[in-house]
Amino acid sequence: MPQSVSSLAAAPAGPSLLRRLARRNEIALLLSLLAVIAFFALASDTFLTTRNLTNVLGQAALPLVAGIGVAIVFISGEVDVSIGSLVAAIAIPLITIMNATESFALGVAGALALGLAVGVVNGYLAAYLGINSLIVTLGTLFILRGGVYLYTGQRAIPDDVMLESFFQLGNGRLFGVVPHPAVIAVILLIAFAYFLRHRPFGRQLYAVGGNPEVARLAGYNVRRVKFVAFVISALLATIAGILLASRLGSAVHVAGLGFEFQVVAAVVLGGVSLSGGVGSLAGMALGVLILQFVSNGLGMLNIATEWQLVITGGIIIAAVAFDELKRRRA
């Protein structure tokens, strides 16, 4: 009988905890976020108010929720850009079912069913058939948007029953302060951060993205792990879509146009690598918040859209280049 190794246990403290902490990408991001907030707080007198800060959290909730899914797909070594059309598509069953049944729960179930179906299709095509996931999800991005236009005849579908619960979901505030979407986003962030760090499946996602061959040898079902990542991403985009639909009070066919770029940019800014296996939800969340606060702050300063675009583009290049330089020096 081989000797059991579990009899010996003594947890050694990592000797270089501080050094490892300093190397963490998240610290740099947090400092950047604080710098952004400090800058706008000085430049605008309406920026640093509870009302505005909580507003931004509520606005950031959508990219945060969808960003969790996109980050998970990135971590597994794939890409998902279909979410922009998906947030618009799932609102159709959501609103139509609510209009027909006056049931919030049934509407949500319908939305989740569509989201699940899209995730399954993306996952099957990319993970099981092995088609490049950028192509697959670019394809579903087109197909879903076209499908939404075809189905709705390019008209928004209004929410005719106006359920209070549905309205409150996206528009209400917890204790009158924190917007509900922000609360939901934080809960999901914590849950998925736990999932990625402390559940074996979460680690499998990293392993599969970091080195699929190794993951396969370790007995992981690489395809299944990636498949699940796509499903998770689609379901989270569905939740983001439900929140958006509540804020819009309808299924709007043009909702989410360009949302995928916004989320992908934030996720990459947050240090989640396009090549898989690297990144954290904390980084992703900081990336989303930085871009959201910049957008809000520039708006507060009355900066025109064109400058906002130029500045945001510049930030993305600078941040990713900085990250790369840091990595090369390390």
Partner 1 sequence: MTKLMKTLFAASVALGALAGAAAAENMPKKIGYVVNYATHEWYQNVIKGMKDRAAQLGIELEVKDANLDVAKQVAGAEDFMAQGVDVLIITPVNEEGVVPLLRRAKAENMPLVLEGNPVKGMTTMVAICDYDTGYHAGVAAGQYAKEHLGGVAKVMNVGLPLLSATVLRSNGFMDGIKTEIPEATLVHDLDGGGNPDRALEVSSAALAQNADVNIIYGINDNSSLGGLQAWKAAGKSQDGLLVVGTGGEGLAFINAMETEPSYKIEAAMFPEKVGFTAVDAAVKVFNGEAVPEHIVSPTTPMIGADWKKYYSVEGTTRSINWDAVNGVKPADKCMKTAADLK
Partner 2 sequence: MSLVSDRSQIVLLGILALLCIAISLAAPQFYTGANVIAILRQCALVLIVATGMTMLLVAAEVDLSVGASLAFTGCVGMDVTNRTGSLVLGTLAALAFAGGVGLFNGLVVTRLKVNSLIATIATMMMLQGGVYLYTREAVQNLHQIRAFTELGAGYVGGLPIPVLIAALIFIAGFVALRFTTFGRYLYAVGANGKAARLSGLRAERLKLVAFLATGLLVGVAGLILASLMNAGQPTAGRGFELTVIAAVILGGTSLSGGRGTLVGTLLGVLVLKVIDNGIIILRWNQDLQMVVPGVVIILATWLDLVRRRRDAR
Partner 3 sequence: MPADPALRPAAEAAAAPALEMRGIGKRFPGVIALEDVDLVLAPGKVHALMGENGAGKSTLIKIMAGVYGKDAGSIRIGGRETELRTPRDALAQGLKVVFQEIALIGEFTVAENIFLEQYPVGRAGSIDWKRIRGEAAALFARIGFDVDPAAKTGDLPISQQQMVEIARALAHEARIVVMDEPTSSLTPSEVALLFAVIRRLTALGIAVVYVSHKLDEVFEIADEVTVLRDGRHISTKPIGAHDHDSLIHDMIGRRIENLFPRSRGHHKGEVVLSVSNLSTDAKLKDVAFEARAGEVLGFFGLMGAGRTELAKAIVGFDPIRTGTIAIGGRPLKPHDTRTGVSLGIGLLSEDRKGEGLMLELPVQQNMSLAALENFSRAGFVEEGRERSAVQSFVDRFRVKTPSLAQPIKNLSGGNQQKVLIARWLMRGLKVIVVDEPTRGIDVGAKSEIFALLDRLAGEGLAVVMMTSEMPELLGLSDRILVMAGGRITAGFERDAATQEKILNAAIG
Binding site for partner 1 (CB under 8 A): 46, 49, 51-52, 55, 58-59, 62, 149, 153-159, 167, 170-171, 244, 246-259, 295-296, 299-300, 302, 304-306
Give, as ranges, the residues between 158 and 197 that touch partner 3 (CB under 8 A). 197
* 134 contacts: CB under 8 Å, gap ≥ 6: 79, 81
Task: Determine contact, residues 98/209, Cβ cutoff 8 Å.
Answer: no
Among partner 1, partner 3, partner 2, none, partner that 156 touches (CB below 5 to 8 angstroms by kind): partner 1
Least spacing, CB of residue 4 vs partner 1, in Å? 56
The residue assigned the tokens 């909702």 is 255
Closer residue to partner 2 in complex, CB, 101/313: 313
Among partner 1, partner 3, partner 2, none, partner that 277 touches (CB below 5 to 8 angstroms by kind): partner 3
Other Cβ atoms within 10 Å of 270 Cβ, number: 27
Task: Determine contact, residues 228/131, Cβ cutoff 8 Å.
Answer: no
Closer residue to partner 2 in complex, CB, 194/261: 261
On the 0-12 / 13-18 / 19+ scale of CB atoms within 10 A, 48 is middle
Among partner 3, partner 2, partner 1, none, partner that 130 touches (CB below 5 to 8 angstroms by kind): partner 2
The residue assigned the tokens 């760090």 is 197
Give, as ranges, the residues between 119 and 158 that touch partner 2 (CB under 8 A). 125, 129-132, 134-136, 138-143, 145-147, 149-150, 154
CA–CA separation, 174 and 182 (whole Å) = 9
Closer residue to partner 3 in complex, CB, 214/321: 214
Binding flags for partner 3, 211-230, as an x/- string (CB under 8 A): x-xxxxxxx-x---------
Residue 251, SS3 per DSSP: strand
Task: Determine contact, residues 228/72, Cβ cutoff 8 Å.
Answer: no
Binding flags for partner 3, 238-277, as an x/- string (CB under 8 A): ---------------------------------------x
CA–CA separation, 43 and 50 (whole Å) = 17
Q: Cα 77 vs. chain centroid, distance in angstroms? A: 16
CA–CA separation, 116 and 32 (whole Å) = 36
Beta bridge partners of 157: 251
The residue assigned the tokens 């510049």 is 314
- Residues forming the site for partner 2 (CB under 8 A): 125, 129-132, 134-136, 138-143, 145-147, 149-150, 154, 261, 264-265, 268, 274, 304-310, 312-314, 316-317, 320-321, 324-325, 328
**Rule CB under 8 A: which residues touch partner 3?**
1-6, 8-12, 14-16, 197-200, 203, 206-207, 210-211, 213-219, 221, 277-278
